[in-house]
Structure 1
Amino acid sequence: MSPAFTLCLVVLFGLAAIGAPIAHSMIVAAVVYLAVAGQDLGLAAEQMIQGIYDSFIILAVPLFIVAANIMNEGAISDRLLDFCKAVVGRFRGGMAQVDILVSLIFSGMSGSAVADAAGVGKVTINMMIRSGHYSPGFAGAVVAASATIGPIIPPSIPMVMYALVSDASIGYLFLGGVVPGLLMTLVMMVLTSWIAHKRDIPAEESVPLRKLPGITFGAFPALLMPVILLAGIYGGATTPTEAAAVAALYALLLAAFLYRSVTWRSLSNVFSESAKSSASVGLVIGSALIFNYIVAVENVPNSIASMLDYLDLKPLAFLLFANLLFLFLGCLLDATTIILVIIPLFIPACRALGIDLVHFGVVAVVNCMIGLITPPYGMLLFVINGATGIAVSAIVREIVPYLLALIATLLLLILFPDLTLWLPRQFGYQG
């Protein structure tokens, strides 16, 4: 490792430690590296512009963000909430179960954990607290934990980013996330049921079965979105990026014409907020592209691969080591940074050890989502704090059981690759 690269890392982590945005930290660190190494400073802008311009797949990110914001602004999320209340609200701890089921369904539309937590999650938190049966900390913990499902069930913005740095198929990555996402949902619902019985949380008032067909009919157009999305991709009609555009257009048509729940003013807010979020994500992606150039120049991936060859790690030992590292980094860094900067360092080693990149990618994304609820950084903890005013410390106290359950689920996905690869193989994946 050259002195220039050492200084680059010191600047990067030093700026991040004092609270500078990670994108700005990476750009400044990259400029410092280029200056010390005697390279043209214009390389930073060149890598950013060319990397973003040449990657059609990145366009899927702002389109999925637009789709999520339209659903939060319109009545789509309300219809889904009513449907979930009718299905699982009748059980003990029903409102918490409703939030988990809403997260599962909403994840098939937005692909964003933050959109889930800040949108429909805020509504379910208020409903839980108003019922008087749930403490604010527990309500916030359930919403934060269930929001991690969002980027696992397709579509998934983090998986799009992983595909960008690994060249893995987005379609098969999306399929690979289905079973893990369902498993995470099941684990959290079982845990919630156990907690509800232990705390003697009463059952909610059940919705009469005669009303269920009408509620289902009202939510049916929204429930169709993930079906349309996946059918387009796997039927060969659309690329993942085109499917993201279809998702945004479909959400707009539902909100504007079917549910008539958006106005020109609210639509303006949707596009404004989507532009801000997309710019933020784009800046992180661009800065990561610069940093990845530096990593390639320093030959870091090959150095790591050589070190692993020297240690003679077996594939399972490598996966356990990598995921322990990702869990640790998840306490300090945001998921986007880990996916765009850290994970690419391990891709050559995966290829050398014969580890399937779809399996590795899905497991890595699950790991990064766990990082979103892991103190002290845990972005979702702060998103919920900002949206509801619930103290982060109260959420952290209640989220520990969910954190342990999700880590146990992650271990199952590592030990049994078929949980991830079974569904892609049904669609012709040869990995």
Structure 2
Amino acid sequence: MGALILIGSLLLFLIIKLPIAFSLGLSSIITAMYMNIPAIVIAQKMVEGVRSFSLLAIPFFILAGEIMGQGGISKRLIDFSNVIVGRVRGGLAMVNILSSMFFGGISGSSVADTSSIGTIMIPMMEEKGYDKEFSVNVTITSSTQGVIIPPSHNMIIYSVAAGGVSIGKLFLGGIIPGILLGITLMILSYFLAIKKNYPQGDRISLKDSLKIVKDSFLGLMTAIIIMGGVVLGIFTATESAAIAAIYAFIITYFVYREMSMKEFKQVLVNTLKTLAMVMSIISTSSAFAYMMSYLKVPQTITNYLLSITDNKFFILILINLILLALGMIMDMAPLILITTPILLPVVTKVGMDPVQFGVVMMLNLGIGLITPPVGSTLFVGCSIAGISIEKIAKSLKPFYIMLFVYLLCLTFIPQLTLWLPNLVMNG
């Protein structure tokens, strides 16, 4: 009965569109009252949920992403991508995807990626003759790279929820899957561009290309500093995030000089708003996860799934479908905190490595961010383009199919995720 009250009240609150943080907190409190658990215990679990050194990296990564979005780095990354892939047919779509790959490796956020790259690329693609639907489709699907390619703050949340899985291994594990995802999206976009006869990009002179590469190099160094420092053990993920934020500020304020102190104050306000939302969700999710553990929900679900079949293929397909379905109705951070303790024991029993499962989970929930009815990245893309969600959802079909096929590849080919972390960290 306690588990029924916990899950049922959460679903009820979500149906009446109560904010996710309040839904998780209230369902935990109601269930605790039914189980005669003191309210102070729920409060303690909420505090414990955010009292983690690893989580200190999140505000710094959010701040670094905000600085780069406002300080001109996103535009330079677009110009840099244009030098590499802009001249082929459908070149602006390729530029969009490659820019998202670079920016995702700095901001670590799908929504930030869409907000920064989309405001530039969507109007530019429309002006060059691309359909509005296609422009939005490319922008939001390529932004899913941001939750896979390091530094992804969602991977830090997963590390905490999974009991301390190495952040360095998770970051390394996301590099190859993130790059391959971008290449796959480029191939799909190329064939769609040929089918719809989209234009080729303009040729850029060698002199201009060298200037663009030089201007964008300092921005790209942010991702190199973060990855190099964490992987080589020079500093922790939290320290790397702080250094990245300081470096981003120095580059945008003193080198590029495209951000005033007044704009920087707004960056701090935006960061605080995002951080308040993320940390409140983490806090209430921790209380909810405690109640699930107290009621033995993870053990019950694990035993149930394993009792259905011991077939690894079937179990992993089922888990992917569960994550995809949940990603359509709930935000990413709470889902990571709630589902990781439930599903991680199941996948480890059938032989999946926790690092691989982390990357698979990120892609699953990343797809959820671009899927109605709750996809936040989908909403941002539609609002930038001024188009309805219904139109975009229909035109996204080929992208959804491609993403699902790629998800299956990540699930059943572990070396795509594990080869690089095993080579670097274990070597």
2:160 aligned with 1:164:
yes
Structure 1: distance between partners of 2:387 and 2:43: 41
State the TM-score, normalizing by the size of structure 2.
0.97
The amino acid across from 2:149 in the alignment is: I
Spell out, residue by residue over 1:127-152, the C-alpha distance to the aligned partner (whole angstroms, 9 max, x if none).
Answer: 11122x11222111110101001111
Query: Residue 138 of structure 2 corresponds to which residue in structure 1?
Result: 142
CA distance, structure 2, for counterparts of residue 354 and residue 84 of structure 1: 39
Contact 1:107 1:154 in 2 (8 A): yes
Residues of 1 paired with 2:394 and 2:49: CA distance?
Answer: 42
C-alpha distance in structure 2 between counterparts of 1:283 and 1:386, whole Å:
25
Structure 2: distance between partners of 1:242 and 1:21: 32
* Residue type at the aligned position of 1:201: Y
What's the CA shift for 1:388?
A: 3.5
The answer to whether the 8 A contact 1:63-1:248 is kept is yes
Deviations 1:178-215, CA, capped at 9 Å, x for gaps: 11101110110000000000001111222123321111
Correspondences of 1:321-340 after superposition (within 5 Å): 321-340=318-337
Task: Work out which of the residue numbers 282, 285, 300 in structure 2 matches 1:285.
Answer: 282
Matched residues in 1 for 2:211 and 2:310: separation? 57
Is 1:71 matched with 2:62?
no
Q: Which of 233, 249, 263 is residue 236 of structure 1 equivalent to?
A: 233
* Aligned partner of 1:153 among 134, 149, 170: 149
Please give the per-residue CA displacement for 1:313-360, whole angstroms capped at 9, x wherever unaligned.
Answer: 233332211111111222222222321112321122233333210011
- Single out whichever of 217-226 and 350-359 deviates more from structure 2: 350-359
Instruction: Tell whether the 8 Å contact from 1:109 to 1:225 is kept in structure 2 after alignment.
Output: yes
After superposing the two structures, state which structure 1 stretch, 381-390 or 285-294, moved more.
381-390
The correspondence for 1:424, drawn from 418, 421, 424, is 421
Aligned to 2:27: 29
Instruction: Point out the more displaced range, 205-214 or 66-75.
Output: 205-214
CA contact (8 A) 1:82 1:215 kept: yes
Query: Which position in structure 2 is the counterpart of 1:4?
Result: 2
Asked if 1:311 corresponds to 2:288, the answer is no
What amino acid does structure 2 have at the position aligned with 1:18? I
Specify the alignment match of 2:182 in structure 1: 185
Note if contact 2:156-2:167 (Cα within 8 Å) is conserved in structure 1.
yes
TM-score (norm 1): 0.96
Cα deviation for residue 312 of structure 1 reads 4.0
RMSD of the TM alignment (CA)? 1.4
Does the 8 Å CA contact 1:142/1:399 hold for their aligned counterparts?
no
Contact residue 60 and residue 244 of structure 1 kept, 8 A: yes
Contact 1:183–1:409 at 8 Å: present in 2 too?
Answer: no
CA displacement at 1:109 relative to structure 2: 0.5
| Contact 2:118–2:384 under 8 Å retained in 1 | no
Q: Is the 8 A contact 1:26 1:291 kept in 2?
A: yes
**Structure-2 change in CA distance of 1:397 and 1:353 (3 Å):** closer
- AA aligned to 1:110 is S
**Contact 1:146-1:188 at 8 Å conserved across structures:** yes
Matched, 1:92 2:89: yes
Q: CA contact under 8 A between 1:140 and 1:390: conserved in structure 2? A: no
Given that residues 169 and 425 in structure 2 are in contact (C-alpha distance below 8 angstroms), is that contact kept between their aligned partners in structure 1? no
Of stretches 295-304 and 414-423 in structure 1, the one that deviates more from structure 2 is 295-304
Range 420-429 or range 176-185, more displaced: 420-429
For 1:237-276, list aligned pairs within 5 A.
237-276=234-273
SS in 1 for 2:49: helix
Cα shift readout 1:351-371 (whole Å, capped 9, x = no counterpart): 333321001111111111111
Amino acid at match of 1:191: L
User: Of 113, 117, 121, which residue of structure 2 is paired with 1:120?
Assistant: 117
In 1, Cα distance between equivalents of 2:197 and 2:306: 54
Q: 1:411 and 2:405 equivalent?
A: no
Match of 2:48 in 1: 50
* Most deviating of 62-71 and 311-320: 311-320
- 4+ aligned runs moved over 4 Å, structure 1: none
AA of the residue aligned to 2:111: V
Per-residue CA deviations over 1:93-133 (Å, capped at 9, x if unaligned) read: 111111100001111101000000011222111111122x1
Query: What amino acid does structure 2 have at the position aligned with 1:205?
Result: D
- The one-letter code sitting in structure 2 at the alignment partner of 1:342 is T
Name the CA distance, whole Å, in 2 between partners of 1:402 and 1:425. 31
Aligned with 1:364 (options 361, 364, 368): 361
CA contact (8 A) 1:172 1:429 kept: no
Q: Distance in 1 between matches of 2:7 and 2:20?
A: 12
1:341 to 338, 342, 365: 338
- 1:250-286 per-residue CA deviation (whole Å, 9 max, x = no partner) reads 1111101111111111000000000000000001100
The alpha carbon displacement at 1:307 in A equals 2.1
Distance in 1, matches of 2:79 and 2:183, equals 20
**Which whole-Å CA distance do the structure 2 matches of 1:301 and 1:14 have between them?**
21
